[in-house]
Amino acid sequence: MRSPRSLPEGTADRLKPLLKQAQTKSEFQRIQAVYLRAATNMTPEDIADALAWHPGTVRNIHSAFLRTGDDAFQVSSRGGRHRENLSIEEEDALLSQFTADANDGGIIVVSEIKAAYEQKLGKSVPKSTVYRMLTRHDWRQIVPRRRHPKSDPEAQEAFKKTSRQSSKRK
């Protein structure tokens, strides 16, 4: 096995204040992994034992530190829309074309929104993509009922026969 690349001079002195400035436990441990190597010349296996990590993780942090410097200590947050077609602002701008119709009580046809979405992207997308976009922007499907669930057609007919209006017509 080859010997690891040496850390730059003064690394231990530069990392000591960073240990006190660390915001999260993960950031602190990453700095500590490099600091222990710089200050005490510990092996990755010994550092991994001290931090309860895997030696490969310690080697990866050392390698990242040698490549990128202090950026290796910043842990990127997980999650997000990694495969987004449009940003939230672009989706909002696309939907703003249809907002006037929606505010006037008009019926919004998803196939029209889908066509505009595909035209903007330059490729076809499934309908579910458009429905997820509408959900993301708090659009919901409101459909009027054809009849009231507790309506009684027989009672309605009886009312028509006994109402005052029906007696005036005759």
In-domain check, residue 25: yes
In-domain check, residue 147: no
36's CB contacts (< 8 A; 6+ apart) are: 42, 46, 47, 50
pLDDT higher than 90, residue 49: yes
* Residue 50: per-residue pLDDT: 94
In-domain check, residue 157: no
Same-domain pairing of 46 and 92? no
**Domain boundary at 73, 105, 121, which?**
73
Same-domain pairing of 68 and 120? no
In-domain check, residue 149: no
pLDDT higher than 60, residue 167: no
Same-domain pairing of 69 and 98? no
Same-domain pairing of 96 and 119? yes
Structurally, how many domains does the chain consist of? 2
C-alpha torsion 132→133→138→141, nearest 10: -60
In-domain check, residue 158: no
Same-domain pairing of 60 and 110? no
In-domain check, residue 125: yes
* Residue 146: per-residue pLDDT: 80
Local confidence band at 106 (pLDDT 50, 70, 90 cut-offs): confident
Same-domain pairing of 69 and 92? no
The share of the chain scoring above pLDDT 90, in percent, equals 57
In-domain check, residue 154: no
pLDDT higher than 90, residue 39: yes
How many Cβ atoms are within 10 Å of 7's Cβ, its own excluded? 18
In-domain check, residue 55: yes
The single-letter code of the amino acid at 121 is L
Q: Which domain holds residue 95?
A: 88-136
